[in-house]
Amino acid sequence: MKLPKLFLLLLTLSMISCAKKDETTFKFGVWITADAKRTDEDYAKEFKKYKDGGIDEVLINTNTDPKLLGRLVPIAKEKGLKVHAWIMAMNRPNDSVALQHPDWYQVSKDGKSCFDNRPYVDYYQWLCPTKKESREHVLGLVEGLAKVKGIESVHLDYIRFPDIFLPISLLPKYNLVQDEELPQFDFCYCDACVSKFEKEHHKNPKTSHNTAIDMEWKNFRLNAIKAVVDDAYEIAHKHHVKLTAAVFPYPEMADHMVRQRWDKWNIDEVYPMIYHSFYNEEIDWVGYATKQGVADLEGKKTKINTGIYIPGLKSDAELKEAILMAKDNGAIGVSFFDGNALSDSNLKTIAATKASLK
Ligand SMILES: [Zn+2]
């Protein structure tokens, strides 16, 4: 009788310590973009470099190619890395299927379609989140990735509208002043969106006195993105993987800049891109924005990994500071943008900072 009791006690203790460890292990990730032309050996080398530098997970953009992802998962796992399937969700540059359907694309307030009239940059090719065919196309791509064996999550990126306001540091680059909502950057006024909105609210945004202060029209678009996310969550979980997303720094800011309200989504983890240099902010803003997001998610299941923009850091000392600020303000991990930007000295700093947390 004594032995089983002791065994049970040990088992219970080890379960408690495992659960505790899982809860408190701060994780480190990196976003990378895959290239099918590179060899398995080359990727094995790259993944080992990350693992040695303290990285725990890679978020891989395979241009929504399940085959390429399936090739890379075992290589990464063999090096001890977890893999997330990163997908450009509503912005689908050069999507060969979507390009056959010009009516799937978002339309601006001044009546131009993203299909052939792209805001800011040529790769801004946004699909409508309301139109049945375009949202089903995106969700089909999510499912294709969710089925890949061994991944942790499908990781949504560009899960929002095009920027109605660009980050302040980017405005001079485009020679733009954005003191108000400009019609050429305001989406989606396609027939599907306008008619669905009219049905619900008995008014037409095209004849609105001022769409910038029409809260139903704003909320309609926030909800259109939320509906895609919530459906993607069901799909991911059906295939026993998580749903995660790269999002704007904190909910109010995401709402204001890109019509994205991620604190209301059904999602496991978010990776807010707290890229302080985009907004001409100081390094302490990484802590501020992390804290705001964590507070907005209080009582909810969704956890935060702080996204850190490596080229925006002045030194390895700042890198360490950013990691510690993310942790101190309630993030469960950090993720770096991107793999190419991480120097050997950055990786040494990450490994040393990770070791100091134990
Ligand atoms: Zn639309």
Residue range 68-105, pLDDT digits in tens: 999 999 999 999 999 999 999 999 999 999 999 999 99
Distance 159 CA to ligand 1 centre (A): 14
153-157 vs 242-247, strand pairing mode: parallel
Distance between Cα 104 and ligand 1 center (Å):
8
Residue 15 lies in a domain: no
User: Is 333 contained in some domain?
Assistant: yes
- Cβ atoms within 10 Å of 195's Cβ, excluding its own: 12
Give domain status of residue 176, yes or no: yes
Give the Å distance between the CA of 126 and the centre of ligand 1: 10
pTM: 0.93
Q: What is the CATH number of the domain that holds 239?
A: 3.20.20.80
The answer to whether position 90 is within a domain reads: yes
Res 320: pLDDT: 98
* 200-251 tens-digit pLDDT: 999 999 999 999 999 999 999 999 999 999 999 999 999 999 999 999 999 9
Q: Assess if residue 11 is contained within a domain.
A: no
Q: Is residue 206 part of a domain?
A: yes
Q: How far does the centroid of ligand 1 lie from the alpha carbon of residue 182, in Å?
A: 17
Domain limits for position 177: 26-356
Q: Where are the beta strands (DSSP E) in the chain?
A: 27-33, 57-61, 82-88, 153-157, 242-247, 269-272, 303-309, 333-337
135 alpha carbon – ligand 1 mean position (Å): 10
Q: How far is the CA of 128 from the centre of ligand 1 (A)?
A: 4
What is the whole-number distance in angstroms between the Cα of residue 168 and the centre of ligand 1? 27
Cα angle: 43, vertex 49, 55; to 5 degrees: 105
In the chain, DSSP finds a helix count (H) and a strand count (E) of: 10, 8
Domains contained in the chain, number: 1
From the CA of 253, how far away is ligand 1's center (Å)?
22
- The CA 181 to ligand 1 mean position distance, Å, reads 18
Distance 97 CA to ligand 1 centre (A): 18
User: Can you list the residues of the chain whose pLDDT is less than 70?
Assistant: 1-24
Give the contacts of 351 (CB within 8 A, at least 6 positions apart).
52, 53, 54
- What torsion, rounded to 10 degrees, do the Cα atoms 309, 312, 316, 318 define? -90
Q: Which tokens sit at 51?
A: 């693992």
- Separation of CA 220 and ligand 1 centre (Å): 11
CA–centroid distance, residue 294 to ligand 1 (Å): 31
Rounded to the nearest angstrom, the distance between the alpha carbon of 61 and the centre of ligand 1 is: 26
Is residue 72 included in any domain, yes or no?
Answer: yes
